[in-house]
Chain A
Amino acid sequence: MMLRVNGQWGRRLHLAIILLSIAGLSYLLWQGLKANPNYQPPLHKLKALPDFSLPNALCPEQLITPMAWQGQPALIHIWASWCQSCIAEHKMVQQIHQAYDWPIYGVVYQDDMQMVQQWLAHQGNPYQSLVADEQGSLVVALGTLATPEWLVLDAKGVIHLRHLGPLTEKKFKQQFLPLLQHLKQEHL
């Protein structure tokens, strides 16, 4: 039809092009089935904790800065009391706090501090340090998508792992624990 070759071989060439396109598209789609179609923010390795100055959720007059979260490998938990999945995973957070001595720093996102204080008083507070991010400035600076989200921090304040969604015990043991132990080794 359009290429210079005419006649029998022209026809065969065009047929080959059509069939190759079908095969190519099929292959692309087959591979695509294996991938995760959901958006995941770029996990920049070795991204430092952004600068912030946010009030302590339990004691709003006190301001907390990234300095307070440096010194040892730790976990950061971004959550909110209106988020169903966060409430559901709270038990797990307690278990981690009791079983291990990794500090857990919390970021409460877009929440009412009184509600948070009441809730933690009732359920128990596993957080070594808890900041109130009502406007979401820290959350956006971290590139978070939604609550809950978990981050692994090293002693110098660099982020090594990001986990979207609620944390399960299995994931914690498989992904977080080895990384935390590795970071502790490095720090020593």
Chain B
Amino acid sequence: MIWIPELGHLALIFSLYLSLFSCGLALAKNQLGLALAWKLVRSNIIGQAFFGILSFGVLLLAFAQDDFSVAYVAHNSTTELALIYKLCALWGGHEGSMLLWYLILCLWSLWFIVKAKASSVFNLNTAGVLALLGAGFSLFILKTSNPFTRLLPNIPINGADLNPLLQDPGFILHPPILYLGYVGFALPFAMALAYLLAPDNIQVLAQKMQSPVRWAWSFLTLGITLGSWWAYYELGWGGWWFWDPVENASLMPWLGGTALLHSVRAASKRAQFGNWLLFLALFCFSMSMLGTFLVRSGILTSVHAFAADPGRGRFILIFITLTVGAAFLLYGLRYQAMPWQLRLFSKEGLLVTLNTLLVVCVAIVLLGTLYPMFADAWFNQQLSVGPPYFNKVLIPIFLLLMMLMSFAPYIRWSQDSWQRFKRPLIYIGGSSVIFGGVSRWLLPWQLDALALFGLLVAAILILVTLYSLVKGLKKFFYGQRRFDTLAMHCGHLGISVLAVGIILTSALSVEKDVLLKPGEATVINGTTFKLEGLESTWGPNFEGVKANFSVQRANKAMIQLFPEKRFYMPREMPITETAIYANIFMDYYIALGEPVADNQWSVKICLKPFVRWLWLGGLMIALGGLIAALGTRWPTTQVIN
């Protein structure tokens, strides 16, 4: 029926109205009385979420039914597409992914009102801020990025197809999980503002924030890890992180989120962390919104960026400036300095150092991302700020943080003495010197000094964390359920595994571009790659060539790999499907390039050692966050200090 997409449009409008209404109710809480206001706001938010889900569902239906009268469906789908990708194509373009963003915001708001049962001023304020954010984003969608615009009366027979790069399992999971994290930081943001509007007990606020912060951060970690893994096998040149503006846009909230994650727990134990807590809660979601702006406004070019439109950019920029400006204005006005005797060599001191360094990292990433634009405007110079810059500048800070991580969990609150750490330090110092000296003979690889140092720091962290993790697990099974400690060690272990992966894969990866005919072979580091043959292949919306490679390693079984080069007809785009054989210590990676002559192809072959450690580490970090999230209770009673 031709009018069903209009239902989706209408549902979104209703959702907007309800969110505005919630906002008004929250403002009028004193006139209505808290109990009544809360009841009404809850029903409104349920209604807002209901209409948000309905709107999303209608668009999903339009994709499932190949309804090309909807312009967005026509631009992103085609009849030959597999069903799962037709549905996922919903978040393949700007308008649809913005609707997904809004849906997730509605779901987080719903989660909040289900968890928060009391009709308190705090709850009303939080719900009000969430509703205001919802109103802003739904207004943005309706005014500038409406997915329900129609192509009547000339409905196209077929659509323009989903970008072939996106027709992949990674696309099914990556955006939703990433957005769950990204948008999830809206809840701590709203809670922080609610607190600032009616200051109360900061430690209770911290306890309330623990659950959303941990869940959001875990999802964001998982989303970024998935994205890196997906880019690795999809893009065809063996890279896993490019310091691309869109990646940076997700990294900045993650770094801020890590600081927030630590501060939430610290603030629940020490009220003096309250200011950092409030600042970081506001900071994280501001970074999320800034990221959304950078990715969708066309201000920066990126392999991931959506189609540009300065009109959208102006809308979001004004919205963000007003929201973030108002939030920090409130923070500044209500700022209460806390009496605090801070010693740097204490848990508080290290946590403050962590927060400071992470904020510095975010500032550096933002500087690097925006600098080319600035240099072009101010100096009329075109610059490349990419991996060489970010790696040079951030690696020292990350190494420092890893070093701090190895003893931070064991340091005492308030004050600690160097004496306690003298012996372990001597042991570690001594063994490090020995390790450094014999590494040339101990390790099978040639590494430069920096890589060796990084590996050493990571190894120490692994050993220390594993020891604590095992101890913690033993205690766990004996009844002492310290979720937080277990989660911390899991997360830190994940970071060290990630670090080992990064160091080794960066130092030891080998790449070679060769021209091969069937029957020819090439040898890289003792492994022979032979192109056995080529054959044609085809699918619902593509045709191409499939190559058969045999990989012969020394003293090991032979591997067969089948990389493909596909040509997607609807969009006339060639895509390379890489073939990877992966185990925990080595990836064998083959990607077909271009056909050079009759039957001769240029092929990129990579040997990437320890690259799986990267994503394994990422998964462990996310797991740590999830353990912490599952072990958190929403405070139902006031906790007395």
Contact = CB atoms under 8 A, between A and B. Distances in A.
On whether A and B touch (CB less than 8 Å), the answer reads yes
Interface stretch (B180-188, B371-379, B446-454): B371-379
Contacts of B373: 28, 32, 35, 37
A11 B332 contact: yes
A86 to B, nearest CB: 15
Interface in B269-300: 293, 297-300
A11 B377 contact: no
Contact of A26 (B317, B329, B376): B317
Interface residues of B, number: 28
B415 interface: no
Contacts of B321: 22-23, 26
A55 B370 CA distance: 45
Nearest to A12: B332
A40 interface: yes
Given A19-B332, A22-B325, A28 B313 contact: no
A83 interface: no
Interface string B294-314: 000111110000001010011
A32 B297 CA distance: 10
A42 B376 CA distance: 11
A40 B328 CA distance: 38
Interface string A1-38: 00000000001101100110011001011111111011
B310 A37 contact: no
Contacts of B337: 11
Interface in A27-62: 28-35, 37-40, 42
A22 B327 CA distance: 11
Given A23-B325, A30-B317, A32-B373, A37 B335 contact: no
Contacts of B370: 28-29, 32
Contacts of A11: 332, 335, 337
Nearest to B384: A39
A31 B310 CA distance: 11
Given A15-B335, A28-B374, A37 B328 contact: no
B382 interface: yes
A22 B298 contact: no
B377 A33 contact: no
A144 to B, nearest CB: 16
A32 B324 contact: no
Nearest to B286: A22
A135 B203 CA distance: 68
Contact of B299 (A23, A26, A32, A42): A32
Nearest to B324: A22
Contact of B310 (A19, A33, A38): A33
Given A26-B321, A35-B377, A37-B373, A19 B299 contact: no
Nearest to A7: B337
A22 B330 CA distance: 14
B333 interface: yes
A29 B377 contact: no
A39 to B, nearest CB: 6
Contacts of A30: 314, 317
A42 B382 contact: yes
Nearest to A13: B332
A28 B373 CA distance: 9
A38 B314 contact: no
Contacts of A19: 325, 328-329, 332
Interface in B511-532: none
Interface string B63-74: 000000000000
A45 to B, nearest CB: 13
A33 B314 contact: yes
Contact of B332 (A14, A23, A39): A14
Contacts of A39: 301, 382
B328 A38 contact: no
Contacts of A14: 332, 335
Contacts of A15: 328-329, 332-333, 335
A31 B377 contact: yes
A33 to B, nearest CB: 5
A23 B320 CA distance: 11
The 9 A-B pairs with the shortest beta carbon distances in the complex, nearest first, are: A15-B332, A26-B321, A33-B313, A32-B373, A33-B310, A37-B301, A32-B299, A18-B328, A22-B325
Interface of A: 11-12, 14-15, 18-19, 22-23, 26, 28-35, 37-40, 42
Interface of B: 293, 297-301, 308, 310, 313-314, 317, 320-321, 324-325, 328-329, 331-333, 335, 337, 370, 373-374, 376-377, 382
19 contacts: A12-B332, A14-B335, A15-B333, A18-B328, A19-B325, A22-B321, A22-B325, A23-B325, A29-B299, A31-B377, A32-B370, A33-B310, A33-B313, A35-B376, A37-B308, A38-B301, A39-B301, A40-B382, A42-B382
